A = this chain, B = another copy of it.
Amino acid sequence: MSKLFVIGTGPGDKDLVAPKAVAAIQSCSDLVAYGLYLDLLGNVCDGKQHHDLPLGEEIKRARLALDLAASGKTTALISSGDIGIYAMATLVFELLDMQLQGKEEHPEWLNVEIEVVPGISAMQAAASRVGAMLGHDFCTISLSDLLTPWQTIEKRLHACGQGDFVVSFYNPRSKKRDWQINAARDILLQYRPDSTPVVLGRQLTREDESITITTLDKLDAKDVDMFTLVSVGNSESRHIANGEKQWVYTPRGYSKKL
């Protein structure tokens, strides 16, 4: 039986990688991943055959991982964060589904045993660094309209506003997509106050991490890039300061009982 591990390695800090992910990588001969992710993992990747493909080549990367595993090589397809959240895992199953429907010509893929190993996602890293931003109901919205029509994204932004969910924006900006985050802000401002806390987490848990706490009215694309996770509080989220230390949390409502 050939095996494909689909592994999320967390936000960046080696100490946030699950031992299960490390053990899975160790058991592999071949790794398919964007180079930077492997650099963050360090020497656990030594001696493995490394297959890199540029960002944007996601479909090729998923195919390659299935092909390698089907050829008998124990293989890991790796991404940072949780590979099940806006990442490569879903693409592996989309390809498998196409094969099951007879729209691909890779019956050998069906013999691959697939195991997904989850990881800590960027929204969780951001929330933990500022306190407890995700303390109550929340949602995530990808602002990339490469695969999802902007109309669908816009519908979700309104739903997020109506439901008063804390929201984390993935893919908030890229070189070619610069207006979506400001459009998202403007929609949310129809539902929650200007003063709603916003957290911008860049390179979370990595050496060059930076975290900025601001307010919804001041959220601006100029402060956001493709390495930034943007989380916007709900109408009850609080930004507090204890001396120089700043925190953001979203209450669950215990204060009624305190």
Contacts and interface: CB of A to CB of B under 8 A. Distances in A.
Interface of A: 10, 13-20, 23, 58-59, 82, 84-86, 89-98, 100, 103-104, 110, 114, 116-121, 124-125, 127-129, 131-142, 147-148, 152, 155-156, 158-160, 162-165, 238, 240-243, 247, 249-258
A18 B23 contact: no
Contact of A20 (B16, B135, B160): B16
Nearest to A152: B164
A242 B1 CA distance: 14
Query: Chain A contact residues: over half helix, strand or loop, or mixed?
Result: mixed
Contacts of A114: 131, 247
Contacts of A82: 120, 124, 134
Contacts of A148: 136, 252-253
A205 to B, nearest CB: 9
Given A94-B251, A131-B89, A23 B15 contact: yes
Contact of A162 (B155, B249, B251, B252): B155
A66 B136 CA distance: 21
Given A96-B240, A116-B127, A137-B141, 20 more contacts: A84-B127, A84-B132, A85-B124, A90-B132, A90-B135, A90-B249, A96-B247, A97-B249, A100-B242, A103-B258, A118-B125, A139-B139, A139-B140, A142-B252, A147-B257, A148-B253, A156-B163, A158-B163, A159-B163, A163-B163
A156 B93 CA distance: 29
Number of copies: 2
Contact of A18 (B16, B139, B141, B142): B16
A100 B160 CA distance: 30
B258 A93 contact: no
A96 B134 CA distance: 17
A255 B258 CA distance: 51
Contacts of A17: 18-19
B131 A142 contact: no
A110 B242 contact: yes
Given A59-B258, A97-B249, A134 B84 contact: yes
A81 to B, nearest CB: 10
A48 to B, nearest CB: 20
